[in-house]
Amino acid sequence: MLKSTLRKSQGVILPLVGLALAVLLGFGGLVIDLGGLFVAKTELQSALDSCALAAVKELDGAPDALVRATSAGLTAGNANKVQYQKSSSGIVGGEVTFSNTLTGAYSVNFAPVAAARYAKCTHTTSGIAAYLIQLVGAASTNSVGALAIASTVPGQEVCHTLPVCLKEPVVPYQIGQWVTMLYDPNGTVPSEMGWCNLDGSTNAAETKDEVLHGYCQANIGDTVGTPGAKVAVNDEWNSRFGIYKNNGDVAAWPPDRTGYVYTSTNWTNPEPQNAYKGTPAAGSHPTAANFESKRSDHANYADTGTTVKAGDDITGLNMKPGGFKSLATSGPFGEHALSNRDMRLITTPVISSSNTILGYACMLMLQPVSNSTMSVQLEYLGAADAIDSPCPPSNGMPGGNAGSPPVPALVR
């Protein structure tokens, strides 16, 4: 009788053990394979976040804004790896879309381009292997999808601001108006702008560093320093135009996407001159075209030439006394194109008579500094926080006061 009972027990235990193993294997599969899906989802979300943030920074209303935004989004997004950092995210052009509202219709070719304010990146990663859960009847591979939407919001801090300040105007500036920046304190040219250290100091080394790298942490209400004229910053200022002494270090001091310069000699338009996107008036130089066009062509100081002298012939300037001999190369494969940076569209503080920051303006750097007594000009392009401001967003923290320049932020 006892032997019979034992035999019956053995017959029951073996199936139970098998069932328990199957259950344990299933739970193990859930832990391992679903954990892998969670990691894949997290990696993909990071890639799409990077994609959307990079894309929205290029939405400046220019005709080529969507092309640049798509390229920037793909570059940033695909720099992130997925599937345990083993492969590229694989985001493609059709997965970067744009709209004028958060909940609006998104399109690769959204129109009008100037109204695009939101960038969305979406992607699905397929073929994620299920190593254990498939043993209990689940699929052998899985997929995860994600999306990210970015726009711009007022920033707490304003980064990449140059140490030049615009005086509070008695009469509002016109968009496209050229504004003179006093370079020589002993000069006689009246000016509406001047050097101002954004950290509040008057230190020449600080001015030089802020011209080269820009400055963060300048907020509305701060008081700026007034260092006067700073001949020592010629090199840093001119590098933004791709103009260097000897063989300049393009990698360390990157130029704008174009070095083409605007003076009253080669751009004869009456005020407001509108070099940013206007049409050259009669009498302008044969090479003259607006900044948007020259940026698309990646023209240098000499347009398509190779010498500083050729640029001087276009602009009427004389860069030789300052020792400037080298130019960044032009064209789609030149150094201006490879730099691919907005170094001449700058955010500048608007200050009161007591040197307090009241707000920010978007300005276009028009001219290099050719000598120590030169007063250069910039073009006023509107308030930096305007929805159609062509200045790229800042890299500061979001959550600032109205009037602060925008920063890119994820909104979904």
Q: What is the mean pLDDT, run by run of 10 residues, along the chain of 412 residues?
A: 51 59 56 69 92 90 89 94 80 95 94 92 83 59 88 74 82 91 52 78 84 80 77 83 86 94 97 97 97 96 96 95 92 94 90 88 92 80 84 69 76 87
Longest CA span, the chain:
121
What whole-number distance in Å separates Cα of residue 39 and Cα of residue 35? 6
The confidence score (pLDDT) of residue 228 equals 64
Question: Whole-model pTM?
Answer: 0.71
The alpha carbon of 312 is separated from its chain's Cα centroid by a whole number of angstroms, namely 30
The candidate with the shortest Cα–Cα distance to 166, out of 344, 379, 372, 374, is 379
3-state DSSP helix/strand/coil % of the chain, to nearest 5 = 30, 25, 50
Question: How many residues does the structure list for the chain?
Answer: 412
pLDDT value at residue 24: 56
For position 187, what pLDDT does the model report? 46
Report the run of H or E that residue 195 belongs to, with start and end: strand 193-195
Give the integer Cα–Cα distance in Å for 157 and 155.
Answer: 5
DSSP string, 323-346: TEEEE---STTSHHHHH----SEE
Q: In this structure, which amino acid lies at residue 83?
A: Q
Chain centre distance of CA 109: 20
Domain extent listing, the chain: 2-154, 164-397
Cα–Cα distance, 34 to 36 (Å, whole number) = 5
**pLDDT of the residue at 207:** 84
| pLDDT of the residue at 31 | 59
Distance CA 155, CA 391 (A): 14
Where do runs of H (alpha helix) occur along 57-151? 65-78
How many CB atoms are located within 10 Å of the residue 112 CB? 8
CA distance 165 to 346: 11
- H or E element, residue 211: helix 204-213
pLDDT at 38: 79
Instruction: Look at the block and give the residue holding tokens 């923290």.
Output: 397
Phi, psi dihedrals of residue 373, rounded to the nearest 5°: -115, 15
